[in-house]
Structure formats: structure tokens, C-alpha cells
Structure 1
């Protein structure tokens, strides 16, 4: 049959594409797979036999039978008769190695121990290039004599820390101390490897890329590509409250500053005036790794004025020290004072809980893991804080108190403490559950109404006025169920549950909120309704917080 040339050419191309080429591919692939399978089996055979020999079974044999199965003959074990260690040709004794004499000649265990010895005694003390060579010197019966030669190589010192990118945003000397990279000190390979983890613990900077290391003239230069992170926050609101014929000015300021003076100094200031004669002030200043050492310092001051009834101050000053990764321990001195501002009528004395002036001098112990988040983020996170205080309390106006308010000791011991945990868990791509359980308590035989802890407000028990509850102890859990619109903006539902030391017993809160993160700030609106157990919700009593928090 005659087939035109054009059709014939097309037919050939079709056969090549849909028949011949797949057939050729299948043939080549089959050969390749067979070859790979054979190579893989051989590699497994060699790997198993080498592992057995290095594990101390020098007579081990591995073979492949006719059905491509591996046959393993372990053989007898061999033992270390002696292991000699030399450091730069000088004999040395090390218990890590000496303990292996008489045991199975497992080179994996030996290498692990000698590498640990080199890491501690060389890599962390200025010899990052040090290495250890193992050689088998003699094999007699089932006894093996081996030697290890450790070569220290060059002695390396730190020369400089080079900051690129936004490096001007932090003081170089402060960061060198924070990372434990000190000029002219022996190079420590562990500290270099921990650079990324340590910078992750800083709120105000991050790394754009991995740290770079260069050696020249027995000096080590570390280069970091720094990226500034906006963590400073400022939120303020001013309001007016009519009171009879007068109008009182109220307001709130919340400022959180980080990395002041480019040396990691953090300052928090929270002030709120919630009535004509009532206000609250809380200030904190702290710096980690001060004075070119790992030691940190902290200072705090609180002031609470409750109408014309009492004035309360709380002064704390102390130090903190890192003990492991993100874990730090703190020790502080506290002076807590309560001053009664007016005299009480006989009717008030019989109807009110006792109010007394007092002074407490105490020592605080604090344990903290990581730092609190500055704003909600879509990531797994864990923060915890534990504190304990021991002090001596003195009632300073004891002699002038009404008789029925003198039914307590003038001097007494006081103990207080508590914990706070912040846990975040991402569920799916956009959902996150946030739980903040906390507990606090105070124990003292001479507690007055103005000595009690106060609870309520946006900072803890939402849906209630600030400092609404007085209590000797409380257990509280804040729960937020967030749906993130992007990495830092979210809509959330909230619930709070609290157990108080009062006749109210349990209280709870329900509500919703919206956090919208912009380039230069963060818009927030929260509605929360607080209720006592056994009462019906009253939506007219709900609390609304609306504001814009500037971030810079």
C-alpha cells in the first residue's frame, strides 16, 4: 500500500512519541532500577558490616544470598585492652576514656566520649579547630590496643563583632556582652552556635540571616545582619466624668519602651485616673546584662490612691541572672507602705472592714522563663513566672487605732507568692487558643482591707472596673479564642474565670474583641461583660475598651 511521504513522516513521529519512546524509557528505567536495587543492597551490606565492626564485633560478616536476602554473622566481641591519649604528643589521663578499658571495643562510644572531651577542653577554650585521631595499634586475640592523638591546632581569640543592616539600632559593646563575645577572650564554639537563640530572646532586634564567622591571624570575626523590630508602644486616652456641678478629668496612659539608649533598657509606665480622687501608677525599669556582665538590674514603683481613704506605695529594686537559656532568677528588696489619709467616724468603724497604716519590708525571689509577648502573634508560645516573698510587717499607727481594730499583732511575718503562665497553641492555619492561668495569695495574721490584693480591669479580670474586687487570694484564667486575619491581626472571643476569697466566690466574663495590626500601630476594641455566679447577665454593665496603640 502506498502511503504519502507527509503522512508517513507524521506516523513515524506518532509512533516515536506514543510507543517507541515509552518502551525505550521503560527498558532503561528497568535496567536503572535493577542496578539501583543491586547497589542499594550492596550499600546496606557494607553499612551493616562496618557498623558491627565499629561496635566491637571485628569478625562480623554480612553476605547476600541467591534470593537477595542479607545474612548476618555477628561473631565474637572484642575488648579494649588499653587506650592511650596524647595531647600534642604529651600523654594524658582522662576518666571518660579510662572507664572503657575492659569493655567491648565500641568505637561509637569511644568517639562520642573523646569528642565531648575535645569540645569541653578545646572547642570551648579557644581551639575551635582541634581534632582527635583514633588509630588501632595492636590486635591480639580478642584484645585491642588503641591510641588517640588530640591536635589542638591554632589558638583563636575573639577580635570583633561586626553589625550590618540595622546594626546602629543597638550598642555593639552591649550586644557583645549579651552574646558573650568579648574582645581578646578565647573563642568558644558553643557561644557562637547559641547566637541565634540568644537574639531570638531579644524583643527589639532579629537576624536577617545566619551569623557568619571568619578567621584571620588567629582572630575570630563574627558578622551579624541585624534587623530592627518595632516593639515600643504608646496608648493614651483622656476622658471627662461629670460629678454634680463639677467635671473631673480622667484618663489612662500605657507606654512600653524597649532598648532605651540602645542598651536593652526596658521601661513600662501605666497610669490611670479613674475618678476624681483615685489613681493608679505602675512603673518598671530593667536591663539585662548590665555592667558588662550577665547580671541584670530592675526597679519598680507602684502607687495606688483610693479616694481620700488610703495611699499605697510599693517600691522594688533588685537584680536578676540568667541560669539556663531563657530561664532567669531574680532577687529583689521590697518596701510596701499603706497610709490611711483620714479619720473614721464611729459608724464607719463598726461597719467597715479594718483599715490600718503599715510598712512591709520583704525579700522577693522570682523565676521567669522567656518574656511576655508585646502583642498577639500567630505562633506557638510559652511564658511563665513564679514569685515568692518573705517579709516583716509593722502596723505604724497601732496606738491610734480604734480599739476594735487593734485585735491583731503590731508586728508579724508575711508571706506572699503566685505564678502566671501564658500559653499559645496554633490550631490549623489561622486559629489559635490562648490561655493565661495565674494564681496569687498573701498570708498574714494582721491583714487589713487596704492590704488585700485588688482584681478587675482590662489587665486581668475583663468586664469589671479596675481594682473592683478585694481579695486575699485569687485563681484566674483568661481564655482567648483567636481567628487571625493575617499574621498579627485577629478577631477573638474571650472568657475569664476567677475564684476569689470573698462571699462572691466565682465570677466570670464573656466578650469579644478585634486586634488590627497596621504598619505604625495596632487598633483594638474589646467588649466584655462580667458576671457573678447565680446572677443573670446585665448587658448594660458591659465594659468597652477602644483605642489605638502606636508601635515604633
Structure 2
């Protein structure tokens, strides 16, 4: 009976060292010499080597001896003779892959030093061996508190939950390998180098070199656009986005926008990460939109976020939307296609990446896709005659499909392409104007008035060629293209230029754009200018 995997003696001897110098010998001859980041990586290397030998028929390969010095581990292996073999419970040719799957399963359930033995061996003939494969779990390993090279201000409880390494939980080799990717779940945490790992007294200690970035923002934007009577009017918005509320990873967001004469929008959002130490993060949002003196739309959403892979998040939400008419001018309402309504939706969304990270000079991508299904009812307004509702369906099904992908690709020494594509589709037998998509302005189609375009379906492409003169500062030229349909179908576009200038406490931005559509020609008089400042803290 021959044990295949290295025993834990040398692992424990080197448990306090971040890196291990190792020399591997095969039948007395040097085979390999390298530096391993930790004992787990060394164990995996030797295991994979022996499994490859076993798959070639060297079933008696194993460890002859281990020599441990203060500087180096020397591991002496032997291959043995090549033979054919039949093992109980296994059929097939890829024995190494079968054993690797079994060992990986143990390693991800708290047994990273699981090993296997060949048991009950007997010779069927001179060159054929028969026996059983027996797996020994080894010691159970649990997570201990992590060691931080720089003590974080953010709650360590939040970091443990974010990285799936809560003290007391069973160690997972897979989770450890994914730490560098899981840190990208947070917009305010960065990892400076791959994590190290050591084992001591059946506990895994992770060494983390984490950097915290200022990601909370307060921003104000002022824009100039043509009013309804041809006058130049000022529009603007303010937004407070706290990404790490109370240093616990909670998010609170408040925004207010005045996008045209007597028209405003208010949004409030809150997200509570890892509620009651679970994998679930509940959220709440409230949105209120007032369109001049015509209508008011309000939305309340309650959702749950959870990660289903290192960087992919699942979001489920129940949302309730209500539309209320502010005007009872029957002529205006008939032309506009407006009515009071109540709609409930059930939404599912998948997302990956942080869109705000696309402002730095690096290759990056973020995306999300969502679908919502619900029911809508038209509510009678007692100030309108019954005849107004003669052709209206009061109860209908409502569907919505949306997607957004954005990426930045460096192409030259300090230049990069940025491209963002958004799509949206609304499907309903009684679609009203006061529930359509609103497009136009600095954050959607530049060169047009804020939220001036109503659409049932749309595809919006925003392209920028950026020239960086600092990591967060750049000048750019832009081209935005919209394709939409609704009561009107068109393919408007906007062109322009701008810059983003990083300061010690935030970023100043400026954009100048002009647009062309069916009812707007390219003209200096229709040019839109936007000024903004984002303060980071």
C-alpha cells in the first residue's frame, strides 16, 4: 500500500512562511526548483505531478523522503515501474482527472490536504494490477481571521462576507483562488497583490494587502439647452452616492434633477449588504418623476442581491409603479396618450462589473441584463368623462427587457476607445406615454435636451475616443447614436467633445455637443453645454 500525497509534516513546519523555496527530485535526479506562494500551492504541484504519473501507469510512484531546512524543502519522489491496472469503482482511461475531481471536492469542503491510497492490491498477472482507491480526508481546516498588511477602515466583517472567508467557516481552496476576482465586487476595495496563505493548528490564515479607494461621490451638473419658446434655459442635477456608509459596505444614493421647465425627478436608493450575515443583500428604491403640469410617476422597488459567481450578481425585485394625471385637459390628454395607471412588475437581473471603474486608463468591462414581467391596470380619473376610456383596455400584461454593456480598450500609449450600448424594450397592449423610456441629455444622448425623447423600444450607442494625460484625466471626442420607435421613429445622433479633469478631491467635467434628428438640424443654436463636478470622499 503506497500513500500518494505528501503528508502534512513539512506543511506545518512552513506554516508561518508566506513563500516556500522547494526542490523536487525524481529517482534521485533534479526535476524542478521553484518558489511557491504557500504550502497549498506546493501540495497541489506535487499532487498534480504524481497524478500525471499514475495516469501513465506508474501506480507505485510516491514520496521517498522529505528534507526540511531553514531555507528550502527538498522532496524526493520515485516513479516505479509502469503497469496496467484495474481499480474497483472506476472505469475509463483518465484516472488522474477522476482523482483530481475527488480531491478538489474535498479541498472545497474544508479538507485541502485530502490524500488517496491504493489499497487491497493484487497482481492479476505479471503486468496487471488490481485494487481499490481509498481517499483519506486529512485534518479539517477552518478559516481564521485574516492578516491585513494595512488595517482597513472598512468593517472586516463586510470584507470576510464579500470574499466568502468568514472565520469559523470551512476552508475552500476554490474560494481562496478567487479572492483576487471577488474583490472586484466592491467599488471601493482593491487588492495590491495576490493573497498569501498559511496553515496553523487546523486553521487557514489569509494574508491580504488591500487598498481602500474613495468611491463615495457628491456631484452637481449644470446644462444649457433651448426651452419650449426658444429661450436658453439652465437645467441641472445633484447626486449624493455613499458607497461605504458607516464603513460597513452599505450604499445610500440620493439624486435630484431638473431636466426641463417645471419638470423634476427625485431618486432614493439604499442597499444593505449581507443582511444578518447571510449571502443576501436587500435593497430599496423610490423614484418620483414630475413632467411639467401633465403627469406624475412614482415607483417603489424592494429587491434582493446575491452573487452567483465570483463577479456575477443576481438581482430579484418587486416593483410597483403608479402614474397620476396632473392635468384634466381632455384635448391634451387625448393627443398625448396619457392616463392614470398602476403597474406591478417582478424583475430578474444579472450583472457583472462596476460601470464607474471605466473612467480610469485601463482595460475594463461591465454589463447587466434584466427582464421584468407584470400586470398593469388603468385607473379611472373621476375628473374625466367615461367616453375617454371607451377604447382602453383596463387590465393588461406588461413586459420589459433591458441590457447595458460598456467597455474601455486601451489602443495606444495613452489613448483608449470607450463604447457603451444600451437597449430597452417595453411590451404592453395599452402602453401609455407616461410610462415610456425617457432619453436625451448628458447621461444618454448628448446634444439633445434632457429626457426629451419618448420611446417604446430603443438602442443607444455612446462612443468616445479618449486621450489620457493622467490616470483619471482625459480629453475626448464623442459620437452618440440612437435608434428608437414609439409614436415617432427616428435615428438621431449627437457629436461633440469634452474633457474630464481629476483634482485632489474629485473630477471636473465639461462636454459640448450638437445633435441631429427629424425635428432638429445641426446648428450652433441647438448646441448643448454641460458642466459638472464630482467630489469623491
Task: Give the TM-score normalised by the residue count of structure 2.
Answer: 0.78
Which one of the candidate residues 457, 470, 483 is aligned to 2:467?
Answer: 483
Contact 1:356 1:401 in 2 (8 A): no
Cα distance, 1:488 vs. partner? 2.0
* Corresponding position of 2:436: 452
Q: 1:372 to 1:535 in 2, by over 3 A?
A: closer
Cα distance, 1:258 vs. partner? 0.8
Partners of 1:141 and 1:434 in 2: CA distance: 67
The reply to whether residue 55 of structure 1 matches residue 56 of structure 2 is yes
Higher helix share: 1
Alignment of 1:144-155 (within 5 A): 144-145=129-130, 148=133, 150-155=135-140
Partners of 1:149 and 1:343 in 2: CA distance: 80
The reply to whether residue 99 of structure 1 matches residue 91 of structure 2 is yes
Alignment of 1:12-23 (within 5 A): none
CA displacement 1:87-113 (0-9 Å, x = unmatched): xxxxxxxx5xx123xx5xxxxx32332
Which one of the candidate residues 185, 198, 203 is aligned to 1:219?
Answer: 203
* Corresponding position of 2:354: 371
Cα distance, 1:301 vs. partner? 1.4
Partners of 2:224 and 2:529 in 1: CA distance: 16
Task: Give the TM-score normalised by the residue count of structure 1.
Answer: 0.76
Contact 1:433 1:480 in 2 (8 A): yes
* Corresponding position of 1:131: 115
Contact 1:249 1:276 in 2 (8 A): no
Alignment of 1:222-301 (within 5 A): 222-237=206-221, 251-275=236-260, 277-301=262-286
Partners of 2:519 and 2:342 in 1: CA distance: 39
Structure 2: stretches of 5+ with no match in the other structure: 1-28, 30-51, 60-81
Contact 1:354 1:405 in 2 (8 A): no
Larger Rg: 1
The reply to whether residue 83 of structure 1 matches residue 87 of structure 2 is yes
* Corresponding position of 2:368: 385
Q: 1:366 to 1:52 in 2, by over 3 A?
A: closer
SS in 2 for 1:506: coil
Which one of the candidate residues 426, 430, 452 is aligned to 1:442?
Answer: 426
Partners of 2:234 and 2:175 in 1: CA distance: 53
* Corresponding position of 1:18: none
Cα distance, 1:165 vs. partner? 1.1
* Corresponding position of 1:324: 309
Cα distance, 1:507 vs. partner? 0.4
Cα distance, 1:221 vs. partner? 2.3
Partners of 2:522 and 2:458 in 1: CA distance: 22
* Corresponding position of 1:15: none
The reply to whether residue 182 of structure 1 matches residue 186 of structure 2 is no
SS in 2 for 1:191: helix
Contact 1:464 1:529 in 2 (8 A): yes
Q: 1:409 to 1:400 in 2, by over 3 A?
A: farther
The reply to whether residue 429 of structure 1 matches residue 396 of structure 2 is no
Contact 2:328 2:384 in 1 (8 A): no
Contact 1:231 1:258 in 2 (8 A): yes
Partners of 1:57 and 1:125 in 2: CA distance: 29
Cα distance, 1:196 vs. partner? 1.8
Cα distance, 1:55 vs. partner? 3.0
Cα distance, 1:150 vs. partner? 3.9
Which one of the candidate residues 517, 527, 530 is aligned to 2:502?
Answer: 517
CA displacement 1:339-395 (0-9 Å, x = unmatched): 111321x54356x22221111111111111222224512222222111111111111
Contact 1:398 1:410 in 2 (8 A): no
Cα distance, 1:237 vs. partner? 5.0
SS in 2 for 1:443: strand
Q: 1:482 to 1:239 in 2, by over 3 A?
A: closer
Cα distance, 1:493 vs. partner? 0.9
Q: 1:375 to 1:231 in 2, by over 3 A?
A: farther
Q: 1:439 to 1:296 in 2, by over 3 A?
A: same
Q: 1:194 to 1:528 in 2, by over 3 A?
A: same
Partners of 2:413 and 2:133 in 1: CA distance: 52
The reply to whether residue 467 of structure 1 matches residue 451 of structure 2 is yes
Q: 1:145 to 1:233 in 2, by over 3 A?
A: same
* Corresponding position of 1:505: 490
Contact 2:494 2:516 in 1 (8 A): yes
Structure 1 range deviating more: 292-301 or 214-223: 214-223
Cα distance, 1:229 vs. partner? 0.9
SS in 2 for 1:181: coil
SS in 2 for 1:460: coil
Structure 1 range deviating more: 184-193 or 397-406: 397-406
* C-alpha RMSD over aligned residues: 3.2
Cα distance, 1:545 vs. partner? 1.0
Partners of 1:186 and 1:444 in 2: CA distance: 49
* Corresponding position of 1:70: none
Partners of 1:538 and 1:381 in 2: CA distance: 35
Equivalent residues, number: 461
CA displacement 1:11-60 (0-9 Å, x = unmatched): xxxxxxxxxxxxxxxxxxxxxxxxxxxx9xxxxxxxxxxx99963599xx
Partners of 2:104 and 2:111 in 1: CA distance: 9
Comparing both chains, which one has the higher relative contact order based on Cα–Cα distances under 8 Å and sequence gaps of 6 or more?
Answer: 2
SS in 1 for 2:434: helix
